[in-house]
Amino acid sequence: MRLITLTFTCAVFIACNHRTKENGTSPWPASFHIGRPATPAEIAAWDIDIRPDGAGLPPGAGTAASGKPVYMAKCAACHGTGTEPLNAKLPGPALMNDSAGSDFRRLKTLGNYWPYATTIFDYVRRTMPYNAPGTLTADEVYSLTAYLLFANKIIDEETVMDARSLPKVNMPAKHLFIPDNSTGGPEIR
């Protein structure tokens, strides 16, 4: 019986969209007092995301010059060096390619398809290298990001990438992205 009452309360609650309303059942309390407060240290340990405005970028820095040896040692085996033919089969997706250049219809690369440079930092830090995810230091990730931007001809070899400069990098593909604001309906889109 208790269970049934609980389920019903919940259904009513959803129907009136998270407002507490008396409708033949008991209203929800302001808080269930379930769960515990998160400590700042806990949040810091997991909060690894980087926003396009740079929020979340850690201290550290790197350049293409410092990134190249790291890339060659830890990434090139799977992602190539950008000189492969367009149809080359690599263990990981191509990240740059001299023949594709700015044309993503030939081959998608960071240079011709990625709208934000911050995404490179976020993604590489959270999950690359594929065989040892999450093992890179902040300096290594800044250096690799700088190298990948340089290899895609977006920044030059000496430009330092850090928390201030990275969000300012202008990605060539950014203007191509449009949000799909569809809300359903008959139109074929």
Partner 1 sequence: MNKKKISRRTLLGGAATAAVVLFKSSYGKMIQAAIPESALLTDDPTKIQGPPPGKVGTRSPFEHPVKKPSDISSRTPLQDLYGTITPSDLHYERHHGGVPAIDPHQYELLIHGMVDKPMVFTLADLKRFPSVSRICFLECSGNFRGSKETLMPQEVCGLTSQSEWTGVMLSTLFREVGVQPKASWFLAEGSDAAVMTRSIPVKKAWDDAMVVYAQNGEAIRPEQGYPARLLLPGWEGNTSVKWLRRIELSDQPYMTREETSKYTYPVKDRIRQFSFGMDARSIITYPAFPQQVEKGWIEIRGIAWSGWGKIAKVEISTDNGKSWHPARLQEPVLDKAHTAFRYLWQWDGNTTAIMSRATDETGYTQPTLQQLIAARGADMGGYHLNPVTAWVIQRDGKVLFRPEKWK
Binding footprint of ligand HEC on the chain (CB under 6 A): 74-75, 77-79, 91-93, 95, 120, 123-124, 128-131, 144
Q: Of partner 1, ligand HEC, none, which one does residue 27 interact with (CB within 5 to 8 Å by kind)?
A: none
Q: How far apart are CA 11 and CA 29, in angstroms?
A: 15
Shortest approach of partner 1 to residue 162 CB, angstroms? Answer: 19
Nearer to ligand HEC, 50 or 124 (CB): 124
Burial of 161 (0-12, 13-18, 19+ CB in 10 A): buried
First to last CA, the chain: 48
Return the H-helix or E-strand segment holding 100.
none
**Interaction between residue 116 and partner 1 (CB under 8 A):** yes
**Per CB under 8 A, does 14 bind partner 1?**
yes
Q: How many residues lie near partner 1 (CB under 8 A)?
A: 57
Q: Pull the structure tokens for residue 171.
A: 């990605």
Q: How far is CA 154 from the centre of its chain?
A: 19
What's phi and psi for 71, nearest 5 deg? Answer: -60, -45
Name which of 68 and 79 has its Cβ closer to ligand HEC: 79
Q: By the 8 A CB rule, do 71 and 92 touch?
A: no
Contact residues for partner 1 (CB under 8 A)?
A: 6-7, 9-11, 13-14, 17-18, 28, 31-32, 34-38, 42-43, 46-53, 104-105, 108, 110, 113-116, 118-119, 122-123, 126-127, 133-134, 173, 176-180, 182-189
